């Protein structure tokens, strides 16, 4: 499955964000082997960037939920193609 990237280069701090690392780990376990880890990472980072204005305490849950929804939508689109 390939996901388009609509994001500019990401601030390296986003990659070190614990919310990103935790979401990548959980979603990798959930979507393996259907989705490549690099795709999951890219979707999670993109979700984190899109949620940059969200309150800090809410970020871990919001990032994971948004990324999961995007992965599910992409998987559904690929299954229907």
Sequence-distant (6+) residues with CB within 8 A of 51 are: 59, 62, 63, 66
The answer to whether 69 and 81 have CB atoms below 8 angstroms apart is no
Given this model, what pLDDT does residue 11 score?
Answer: 62
At 14-71, the pLDDT tens digits run 778 888 999 999 999 999 989 999 999 999 999 999 999 999 899 999 999 999 999 9
pLDDT given at position 12: 61
CA distances from 59 to 2, 33, 64 (A): 25, 26, 8
pLDDT of residue 31: 95
How would residue 13 be classed by pLDDT, with cut points 50, 70 and 90?
Answer: low
Whole-number pLDDT of residue 2: 47
Residue 73: pLDDT band by 50, 70, 90 thresholds?
very high
pLDDT number for residue 61:
96
């Amino acid at each position: 499955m390939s996901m388009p990237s609509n994001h500019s280069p990401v601030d390296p701090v986003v990659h070190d964000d614990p919310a990103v690392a935790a979401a990548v780990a959980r979603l990798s376990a959930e979507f393996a082997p259907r989705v490549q880890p690099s795709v999951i990472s890219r979707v999670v980072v993109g979700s984190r960037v899109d949620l940059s204005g969200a309150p800090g305490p809410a970020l871990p849950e919001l990032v994971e939920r948004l990324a999961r929804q995007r992965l599910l939508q992409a998987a559904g689109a690929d299954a229907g193609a």
